[in-house]
Structure 1
Amino acid sequence: MTCRIKCKKISKQLKNYFNILLITTAVSSVFINPSFATQEIIEDGDASIVTYDKAFFVQYEPVTLLDMLQRVPGAPEILNANRQQRGGGGGGNGGAQNQGERGFGSGGDQILIDGKRLAGKSNNINDTLGRISAENVQKIELIRGAASGLDVQSQGLVINIVLAEGASTSTTFWKLTSETKQGHSPGLEALVSHSGSAGRLDYTFSGERTSNDGFFIRDERFYNPANVFSSDRLVDFDFHQRGWKLNSNLTYNFEDNSVLRLNGLWSTQNQKNNEDRIRTGDKLENIFWYRDEDQKAWEVGGDYTRNLGFLGRLKTLFVVNHRTEDQFYDRSKNRDTSPFTYTIENVHELKQEKIFRATLTNNITSSQTLEVGGEAAINSFDKRFNSETRDLATDPFEVEAQDNVEISENRYEVFANHTFNISSTIVLQSTLTTEFSKIVADNIFPDNSISRRDTSFTYFKPRVNLRYDLTPQDQLRGTVEKKVSQLDFNNFVTRYDQRAEKYQFGNTNIRPEQLWEFLAAYEHRFANDGGSIQFEGFYRHYKDKITLVDFTDYVDFAHNAIDREAFFSLPPDIALRDYIADSGSDFISKSGNVGKATSYGVNVKGSLRLGFVGLADAVFSGTYTYEKSNVIDQFTLEDRPFQRTSLHRWDLNYRHDITDLGLSYGGRAVFESDAATNDIYYFWPFSPQASLSVFVEYNIFKGIKLRAEAKQLTGKRGFSTQYNYIDHIRFNELEERIDKRTTVPREIEISIQGTF
């Protein structure tokens, strides 16, 4: 009943919000003041391009390229998505929608520099944008829909930054950041970046010291199956993170107009976590978890562009990276009486990647462009996990769980992209890609014996994108595409899940997800830089969807192997369940593939400049996503949404630049509806708390900016209820219910940055 009432409230709020948005956008299209529109709308042969010249940004006194992008409609949403993707362990090479896709040519909203992706995976595009001085930018282009000659295929928005050529002056950018979290001492971060040129060589070198501390507190209340309160637990977690980063970017312009770009990254980071878990009531517990993690990484990437005359334009790209991670866990109990360590865990991970890509683009007619090429990716992933436990301080440690996996993946693609300008208003882009890949995964056992998985895949991935400009301000887009996901090799290796307090066993037989995606979008761009609004509908059909799967070895009363359905058709028997739990493989789950799954929904994106109410430099923007997903729960056989996927998501941004005062302020609010996660023995719904932040910026002097931002203003992360079941959730025998409420510190981040 609570969920139904909450969903009705959300639906009503959503309806009111969009009624207001549609009314204001309709009014703005009529009454927007044209006096503040300083950019020029250009239609070229491939796509509708809106160009923001350098002069447009003078009034805002930007220090870095990142400052400039904050004033470009659509850019803040891509930057926010990149930050979210990076925090979730995704890529960071410029795409906000391509997380999990294979290959550098994948599409989605993108940020490019001189028409090219950043040739890097670990080298994050947002960090690069923050190191480029605004003085080195010539213009920023917004490209909507299909376009030829770019390093990406896009059905949405591409932002292309054109850097000034032959800039003779050198600039040094510096930034100091102090972040104070409630209850913690201020931390200090520093960044210095120097850019310049020497003849035909442009260069940027930067160094950064990172520092981040934080904590959360979670109150947990336990209830028995009769819904009677039994105990509570306080979880007090804090972390301390320190690191160093060195970056470089080199660009050399040859006399024949060919261009070579190189970039490099070296980073090291240490993080220490401390977690107290104090339980009172019917189960006294006082334990402490300590974690020490060291990460080291380096990466070198580059691209080379050359005109080969009648053969066309050659573009090559390469990325080579190396990353190691070592983790040590120490878990102790009885801290208030006779403390002793009961678990020691060691995790070592080595990840290496080599990517090479080459394309040749040629205009086969005045209205048609053909790009052909290939890509090779050679990946390796080695991970060792070892967990040793004991019951008493006098007992020796014994191995509880152990895994050692070495993986190699070789992937090769050949592709052809064809762009056909059917008319001045219709562009058709089609792509044929064939992928050949091979995965070899070795499980290495303590006696050095090996269990090998050797699998080859061939995927045919067509893509068709149609763009139709109804008017200079109205555009229709449609895309049909076959996609294949990038595998997360961490799912191949056993690990300990601290959230659920259980081992999550690895599975080396996971296959990549496949999906057919169907997109249809309508976009209207308001006159005189007044903003835009876009409606996009999508449908995705998955094959080999990756989710948690039942890997229990079921037996009958004679202990003969049977399948799951045969087991659950037997009369309930505690002894048989105890045999599986104690003598068999236990009731276990692993990440695996299921036959099919679907999702559909709508994305709404809008930005509105408030010139019609006299705020020419105020912009309100937002995105709303409705996604209805469905997959069969492999434990209960019920239809469920995807794990941790909310039905509704809002992301609202506001920014107002008061140019006369050199002052800017604004904020961001992110809301998500309820979601859930589940496993073989639990069901865990949760209600995320809204994320709210506000900021103010002030240009103290020309080229020096002060910024203050308040984050996590609610001080809460959310509320969840975990239902734990005995043995297997399908028996429907509740063991306990845990209500969890998490609070986080409010943060104040103050930074000062400048150039000289």
Structure 2
Amino acid sequence: MRSMQSIPFRRRHALCAALLAACGAPAVAAEVEPGNERRATELDRVTVTGDIAYRDRSDATAPTLSYGLDYFQRFEPLTVGDMLKRVPSVGFVSDVLEYDGARLRGLDPGYTQILINGKKVPGAGGDRSFYVDRIPAELVERIEIVRSPSANRSGDAVAGALNIVLRDAYEFDGGYLRAGAMHFDDGKTKPVLGAVGSGEFAGGRVLGGINVQGRHNPKRKRSDRFESLGGDFVDREDQSDVRDGTDTSGNLSYVREIGSGRLSLDGFYVRTDRSETEHSREYDHPSSRARGNLLSVNDQKVDIDQKNLVLGASYAFDMAGGRSEIDLGYARFDDDRFDTEQETGYDNQDSPPSFDGLEGTRILTDARDRELSLKLAHKREFDAAKLEFGVDGADKRRDSSLRTSEVKAKKEGQPLPPYAEFDHQRSRIQERRADPYAMLSGKRGRLDWETGLRYETTRARIDLRSEEGAPLQRQDKDYSLLLPSAHLRFDLTGQDRISASLARTLRRPDFDKLLPLTLEEEYGDNDFVGNPQLRPETAWGLDLGYERRLGQRGVVGFNLFYRKVRDLIEVTGTGRPSAKALEDHEEAVEAFLDEHPGAGPGAPGYPALDPDSFVFTAANVGDGRAWGAEFDLSTPLTALGLEHTGVFLNYSWLDSEVEDGFGKRRFNNQPRFVLNVGFIQDLPEWGVSFGASYRRQGGAYSRVLGEEVSTDYGADLEAFVEKRFGSRIAVRLTGSNLLDASKDEAFHKFDTFGDQLGRDYDEYERESEKAGPVYQLTVRYAF
């Protein structure tokens, strides 16, 4: 572990070159079991044997990378987010040690489709994204990266799709127990408990599992604020930020053969009970040693209660010379937040500073997302091709409630009044979809091909009540899109293949951009109002790939991608003055009338409304492009005589171009690269394995009205050592965040569009957050 820490990041290219040299060794041709034909007897290999697992080679015609749970398991990932940070092209802009919104190809989470068992699920994000760190890793059988979609899946996948395949009774046999604990650098210890079992039941097979894991993330933050970039110092903020909670989950799967068909029932439930506690103090001096005068004390606590429930039932059976399938699904996501923030201010003009007021804000947020789905499909074979056709139907409803109360206490020692009066906003967004599709696929010699057409129709209704007693605002929006796709895969040799894909995809508008609700001073001094008439963004995408089998288990691949996005949704002006501009004008008029009683608008010197801040909205304006190159390697070093040494490497170079009101930029928060490299060494004669994994993500930039943010990320190093006792027991010690990863941000803040264009700062802020290492000791027992 010390030797890995001592390798500077600037030497990563030398390390990559060494691994690439290993790839160039002669490969031994061998037939291997395809990754999607997993046996129900892999339990021992997954949990207690020393065999090193590698990336699977998918047989899908559409470009797909497949990673089984055993690929990740040595590093004991807690969540799907922990797993995804090790696969190609997935970036995150979450806080340190948080991996929630997955960004495939570095694009916003809303551009990435998250599927569970091939089905869409509702999530917490207003951008329709799903928080992948809410799904425990122990529920997962494998993760598939679908770089370009087929017609038989939803087209909401501009960047691609991440399919989380849960364990099911048909593929898993036996059981195991898992127990352990995680220790954090602030001295806290959290439990990790789990159990999975599968076997014969009621004429079929059943699998059940439970998992309880503690979550804890103590971070330290510091912010320094200045009048402008290179300007005078204003204040410093020291902050502690602790995320604490417990995730409890369970899953159940039942499979049974009935007549000529197979019935499958499955479901999972995850509950997240979490609190986020922040305490900060502001000072008028940049040195933490000198401290300076105290300006304010701020305390915030957010209690979060989230519930995920997904149920599915499918029956596949022979009919009319082919195979038909009926698939029912129900998904539900509940998100309740209780947010209280209190700030005590001090007047720095006095010596020592005196009390200058106590303010409190309470925000109660409730979100309920329900989605009911039905799929009817039929497949049949002809002499040279396979035909699949069907229809996907969905009924989605998202109910949101936001209640806000603000109180003040002016005298020192006086408690805040109770939070009694709340502003209440409620909204409902309903979407009904019927998406017919048809696909043709076939194989001719060494060529596999697939082509399809999907027609997505959406009927949306948006209801908003901006406050209690206010009239209901209702907006309707219907749209339909034709989404063609085509995929080719050609086997050059038994080990080499090339692939090409072309597909049209879409991204639906964010929920918070659809609501016709006016938010005052949302962007600096500017207001924002949603636009329920937004159309979805559409994109044409091209993927070109090459993949080579290395020996019996290794794989190396290279892929180029390009996306042309049209009807981009950007913030744009309406020309109407903001509430602040109107308020400033009223104050100027009142001051003029005080000096000139009885004067009217035509009087000399009467103030004219000359606003510098406006109401902005979201609209479909402009186009964007994203492109990049992706390399991945997963192989044992058998060709070098090191059959018990496995190496892993993926590197993605990412770029894009968008034009907004200020000029050209990349897609917001797209990192310039994502690098993962690691190794696993097995010592079979001792029953011991060890390994390390290193991750680095390039800098990112974001620009919206009123704010520009540059973000840099520190490197992440993980390591493990494992000892096996016979064929049933394994003890594993894992260390993560061993380099004390940091996230450093620079905020350029402006009041108005004109100020931002002219670089007239409201404030420039530098913020850095850091977290310490986490150690986990786990025992697994297979039976």
Q: Normalising by structure 2, what TM-score? A: 0.77
Query: Does structure 1 residue 296 correspond to structure 2 residue 307?
Result: yes
Alignment length, in residue pairs?
687
2:210 aligns to what?
Answer: 207
Q: Does the 8 Å CA contact 2:198/2:208 hold for their aligned counterparts? A: yes
Q: What displacement does 1:19 show?
A: 4.2
Cα distance change of structure 1 residues 234 and 71 upon mapping to structure 2, 3 Å threshold: same
Identity percentage over the alignment? 16
Q: Does the 8 Å CA contact 2:541/2:562 hold for their aligned counterparts? A: yes
Q: Which moved more, 1:343-352 or 1:540-549?
A: 540-549
**Which consecutive residues of structure 1, in runs of 5 or more, have no partner in the other structure?**
1-8, 43-48, 134-139, 560-574
Query: Does structure 1 residue 379 correspond to structure 2 residue 401?
Result: no
Query: Does structure 1 residue 278 correspond to structure 2 residue 281?
Result: yes
Cα distance change of structure 1 residues 545 and 459 upon mapping to structure 2, 3 Å threshold: same
**Which consecutive residues of structure 2, in runs of 5 or more, have no partner in the other structure?**
1-7, 58-65, 73-79, 93-97, 124-129, 286-293, 347-354, 583-605
- SS at 1:227 equivalent: coil
Give the distance between the partners of 2:372 and 2:652, measured in 1 at CA: 35
Q: Does the 8 Å CA contact 1:389/1:398 hold for their aligned counterparts? A: no
Cα distance change of structure 1 residues 591 and 219 upon mapping to structure 2, 3 Å threshold: farther
Q: What displacement does 1:374 show?
A: 0.6
Query: Does structure 1 residue 411 correspond to structure 2 residue 433?
Result: yes
- SS at 2:536 equivalent: coil
- SS at 1:595 equivalent: coil
Cα distance change of structure 1 residues 335 and 296 upon mapping to structure 2, 3 Å threshold: farther
Give the distance between the partners of 1:224 and 1:132, measured in 2 at CA: 49
Give the distance between the partners of 2:607 and 2:48, measured in 1 at CA: 67
Amino acid at match of 2:31: E
2:600 aligns to what?
Answer: none
Give the distance between the partners of 1:497 and 1:83, measured in 2 at CA: 37
2:773 aligns to what?
Answer: 746
1:29 aligns to what?
Answer: 26
Cα distance change of structure 1 residues 602 and 275 upon mapping to structure 2, 3 Å threshold: same
Q: Does the 8 Å CA contact 1:549/1:593 hold for their aligned counterparts? A: no
1:522 aligns to what?
Answer: 546
Q: What displacement does 1:689 show?
A: 1.0
- SS at 2:47 equivalent: coil
1:703 aligns to what?
Answer: 728
Query: Does structure 1 residue 389 correspond to structure 2 residue 406?
Result: yes
Query: Does structure 1 residue 194 correspond to structure 2 residue 197?
Result: yes
Give the distance between the partners of 1:746 and 1:710, measured in 2 at CA: 7
Give the distance between the partners of 1:660 and 1:453, measured in 2 at CA: 69
Amino acid at match of 1:534: G
Q: What displacement does 1:21 show?
A: 4.1
2:265 aligns to what?
Answer: 262
1:250 aligns to what?
Answer: 254
1:564 aligns to what?
Answer: none
Q: Deviations over 1:164-193 (max 9, x none)?
A: 9699xx744221131111013201122223
Give the distance between the partners of 2:673 and 2:403, measured in 1 at CA: 40
Q: Does the 8 Å CA contact 2:568/2:620 hold for their aligned counterparts? A: yes
Give the distance between the partners of 1:301 and 1:532, measured in 2 at CA: 34
- After superposition, residues 125-140 of structure 1 pair within 5 angstroms as 130=138
Query: Does structure 1 residue 429 correspond to structure 2 residue 450?
Result: yes
1:239 aligns to what?
Answer: 243
Give the distance between the partners of 2:134 and 2:277, measured in 1 at CA: 30
Amino acid at match of 1:357: K
Q: What displacement does 1:518 show?
A: 0.9
Q: Does the 8 Å CA contact 1:101/1:483 hold for their aligned counterparts? A: no
Give the distance between the partners of 1:657 and 1:646, measured in 2 at CA: 34
Which of 764, 767, 778 is the matching residue for 1:737?
Answer: 764
1:507 aligns to what?
Answer: 530
Q: Does the 8 Å CA contact 1:482/1:517 hold for their aligned counterparts? A: yes
Give the distance between the partners of 2:520 and 2:774, measured in 1 at CA: 28
Q: Deviations over 1:327-373 (max 9, x none)?
A: 111111228969845211111111101111121000022x2000001
Query: Does structure 1 residue 535 correspond to structure 2 residue 519?
Result: no
Give the distance between the partners of 1:161 and 1:550, measured in 2 at CA: 45
Q: Deviations over 1:647-676 (max 9, x none)?
A: 211122322232332222222222111111
Which of 627, 647, 661 is the matching residue for 2:672?
Answer: 647
Query: Does structure 1 residue 323 correspond to structure 2 residue 344?
Result: no
Give the distance between the partners of 1:518 and 1:217, measured in 2 at CA: 43
Give the distance between the partners of 1:417 and 1:445, measured in 2 at CA: 45
Q: Does the 8 Å CA contact 2:385/2:440 hold for their aligned counterparts? A: yes
Q: Does the 8 Å CA contact 1:550/1:680 hold for their aligned counterparts? A: no
Amino acid at match of 2:378: L
- SS at 1:714 equivalent: coil
Give the distance between the partners of 1:749 and 1:370, measured in 2 at CA: 49
Query: Does structure 1 residue 458 correspond to structure 2 residue 480?
Result: yes
Cα distance change of structure 1 residues 680 and 292 upon mapping to structure 2, 3 Å threshold: same
Q: Does the 8 Å CA contact 1:131/1:173 hold for their aligned counterparts? A: no
- After superposition, residues 489-500 of structure 1 pair within 5 angstroms as 489-492=511-514
RCO (CA 8 Å, sep 6+): is it higher in 1 or 2? 2
Q: Does the 8 Å CA contact 2:740/2:773 hold for their aligned counterparts? A: yes
Q: Does the 8 Å CA contact 2:151/2:484 hold for their aligned counterparts? A: no
Cα distance change of structure 1 residues 147 and 739 upon mapping to structure 2, 3 Å threshold: closer
- After superposition, residues 95-114 of structure 1 pair within 5 angstroms as 100=110
What RMSD in Å do the two structures reach over aligned CA positions? 4.5
Q: Does the 8 Å CA contact 1:442/1:451 hold for their aligned counterparts? A: yes
2:62 aligns to what?
Answer: none
Q: Deviations over 1:591-623 (max 9, x none)?
A: 654321111111111223211333212221222
Give the distance between the partners of 2:481 and 2:777, measured in 1 at CA: 49
Q: Deviations over 1:512-552 (max 9, x none)?
A: 221110111112222333x2222211110001224454566
Cα distance change of structure 1 residues 14 and 693 upon mapping to structure 2, 3 Å threshold: closer
Cα distance change of structure 1 residues 14 and 465 upon mapping to structure 2, 3 Å threshold: farther
Q: What displacement does 1:129 show?
A: 7.5
Give the distance between the partners of 1:72 and 1:296, measured in 2 at CA: 32
Give the distance between the partners of 1:424 and 1:143, measured in 2 at CA: 26
Cα distance change of structure 1 residues 506 and 607 upon mapping to structure 2, 3 Å threshold: farther
Amino acid at match of 2:26: S
Q: Does the 8 Å CA contact 2:653/2:673 hold for their aligned counterparts? A: yes
Which of 22, 25, 31 is the matching residue for 1:40?
Answer: 31
2:493 aligns to what?
Answer: 471
- SS at 1:75 equivalent: strand
- SS at 1:453 equivalent: strand
Give the distance between the partners of 1:203 and 1:18, measured in 2 at CA: 44
Q: What displacement does 1:732 show?
A: 1.7
- SS at 1:204 equivalent: strand
Q: Does the 8 Å CA contact 1:268/1:297 hold for their aligned counterparts? A: yes
- After superposition, residues 77-226 of structure 1 pair within 5 angstroms as 83-84=84-85, 100=110, 117=118, 130=138, 171-225=174-228
Q: Deviations over 1:179-229 (max 9, x none)?
A: 111013201122223322125221122222232112211111122235232
Q: Normalising by structure 1, what TM-score? A: 0.79
Which of 449, 463, 472 is the matching residue for 1:442?
Answer: 463
Query: Does structure 1 residue 723 correspond to structure 2 residue 721?
Result: no
1:75 aligns to what?
Answer: 67
1:63 aligns to what?
Answer: 47
Give the distance between the partners of 1:95 and 1:129, measured in 2 at CA: 22
Q: What displacement does 1:444 show?
A: 1.1
1:633 aligns to what?
Answer: 660
Cα distance change of structure 1 residues 184 and 329 upon mapping to structure 2, 3 Å threshold: same
1:313 aligns to what?
Answer: 323
- After superposition, residues 547-566 of structure 1 pair within 5 angstroms as 547-550=570-573, 553-554=576-577
Q: What displacement does 1:428 show?
A: 1.9
Q: Which moved more, 1:642-651 or 1:727-736?
A: 727-736
Q: Does the 8 Å CA contact 1:285/1:334 hold for their aligned counterparts? A: yes
